[in-house]
Structure 1
């Protein structure tokens, strides 16, 4: 079986001046939509909550070609 892959990035929301919080609600909405399109989540990482740099969550999904 051959697979196709998709990588999804969701930016963190700023909370205060320094702290960034991963937007898990937005990630959930995106993952549910992709699940309806037969994408399967295979990996997910949440961004740092202490960095001043732009942070994001990343999900990797797959589905049969």
Structure 2
């Protein structure tokens, strides 16, 4: 979704509200930034074991076909 599509969907008032709320939030601390940096800078290189089973795709969604 590009910027114009988001604006059409949300409207100017909602976007302004979101910007105000973000501006009110405190800045993240160094520990949070360090924890998020590997995820946000290169998410595709994360190992499946780092993601955990709660984020794995069900077999049906992954395109895997069960055979009998």
Shorter-chain TM-score range: under 0.3
TM-score, normalised to structure 2, is 0.20
User: Which protein is bigger by CA-based radius of gyration?
Assistant: 2
TM superposition score normalised by structure 1: 0.21
| Higher relative strand content | 1
